[in-house]
Amino acid sequence: MKPKISIDEYIQKLTRFAGSDYGKLVRSQFQDNEGNSELAMLVAPSIEELEQLKKAVAIMTPSEKENAANLTDEQVQKISSDAQVDPANLAIFINGYTLHCKRVS
């Protein structure tokens, strides 16, 4: 599968609402009863989540970036460990990217 956009371009799309009032509104709409809204991260990450994602993407090899939509769970876990970021958030981000790449326009 050839990605429509690179993972670097995808992360730039996420910066638009990171930490904004609109992003906070989106996140509040998707909160569970514990106040978590992980899936909203795909549209409006918090500033902290975005920084973690940028850190993880920055350490990815060119091959990992080119094939990000096909990374295995083990590869995502290793990247998150190497970058010292939350593995669940990185997995959600990678899955969101994969879905974005597979989306029919």
pLDDT value of residue 38: 65
Q: Distance (Å, rounded) from C-alpha 7 to C-alpha 34?
A: 30
Q: How far apart are CA 76 and CA 64, in angstroms?
A: 10
CB 10 within 8 A of CB 53: no
The backbone torsions φ and ψ at residue 82, rounded to the nearest 5 degrees and listed phi first, read: -65, -35
Domain boundaries, given as residue ranges, for the chain: 7-102
Give the model confidence (pLDDT) of 9-68 as tens digits: 999 988 888 888 877 787 777 766 666 666 666 777 888 989 999 999 999 999 999 999
Q: What pTM did the predictor assign?
A: 0.81
Tell me the average pLDDT across 66-91: 95
